[in-house]
A and B are shown apart, each in its own frame.
Chain A
Amino acid sequence: MTQDALSGGFADPARAAAEAFRASLDALARPGTIHRASGGSGPAPLSPAAATLLLTLCDAGTPLHLAGDHDTADIRAWVAFHLGAPLVAPGAAQFALGTWQALGPLGAYPQGESEYPDRSATLIVECGALEARGSRLTGPGIATEARLSLPETEAFRANAARFPLGLDFFFCAGDRLAALPRTTRVEAG
């Protein structure tokens, strides 16, 4: 799939962003639930869900890190046109985009400060697939337990142990997304 930098934005920005934000809010408030997020698209390998998330949350005020295969000239041009987000190294990133392997190590991203734990990065993780099975999730937003196909468990366990500091994650596959806030306790499924 080739796509030029100028296309792929929301057709109706205010309403499309409203729909996409509610999907991401629902996903983060109920870890493990899978939601549809569409309306945006970008150059490969950017998934429609990740493109939609970027269009909804990022702009010139949010430093963005592109990791691994997502750091292409095409995606840089798409980001420059649609978001205007400054591209930065992990240590300065408010958002980061890439596959799980490319994004690591997680310690490189801002984890928040004890007085301002909100000053931490949000990672947008591109996945091959998202399914409601695998790792066992418990914590705020989950009535009993939830299941989600996570790339691993140890990194999320370590992240949750740092609460209230830590990173928050969105997982994207095609036009579907799920999320994992730092509060969720993750165990192997």
Chain B
Amino acid sequence: MSNYQVGQKGNGTRAGVKTWGKMLFYIVIGGVVGGTASMLILILRETGGFTGLDGIYEEMLKWMPAVQTAAFLILFLPSLVYYIRAARGMKRMYSDEEDEQNDQDQGKAMLISSTNIIVEFLLFGLAADPDYDGMMVSVGLFFVFTIICCIQQALLVFQIKRRTPIMKGDPLSWNFQKEWEGSMDEATKMITYRSGYKAYLVVQKGQLLFSVLAVIGRMLLSTGAFPVIISCGLWLVGNTVYTKNAMKNKLE
């Protein structure tokens, strides 16, 4: 065995000890954080701290149609402004800087509009309470607001297609995602895949946290098994789809 190999082995052993040490440290930290959180939740439950949260939820439920409308308008109006700005900018595209600004406006409009749909879905989920008298009003508002957001997103897609003629796909078609991805050029594909990977990493970390919270909630707050099943199910699907595609080792 040469000196180089001996040195490598020595470094490997040191690195191994360091990795195990780190792992042990994280386990201890995780235990301390989990234990402290559980203790805090127990104290809050014993002292009636969660009754306050129930009160806030019940009060919000009374005003749910107004809350839904306000949330929709707060997010819809800025996205509309960005959409109109991008549309106006398209009529007078002269410089590269103006083009860049238009891209930014379109991106912001799309992001805010998508956020609007998620927020509306969240409020709809909170209003879907069998004991809530105004549930049907909330359901109606949810449908109206979501349809408006979907129309806005379709208009944004048409706008992007006008600006970038290589992009293909009908937003009303079931194959839209596939056609859209297929028409992307090499740099756009790279940005999209990189963003997708970053989102995957964030969601993986989020799933771990959410699963722990779901287990703590089940033990201490009687939230039931459903959140644990959903969280771990999504975690499993995300992980399997990513790993299976990475193992294919080919570009489609």
Partners in one complex: no
User: Hey, which bits of chain B sit against chain A, CB under 8 A?
Assistant: none
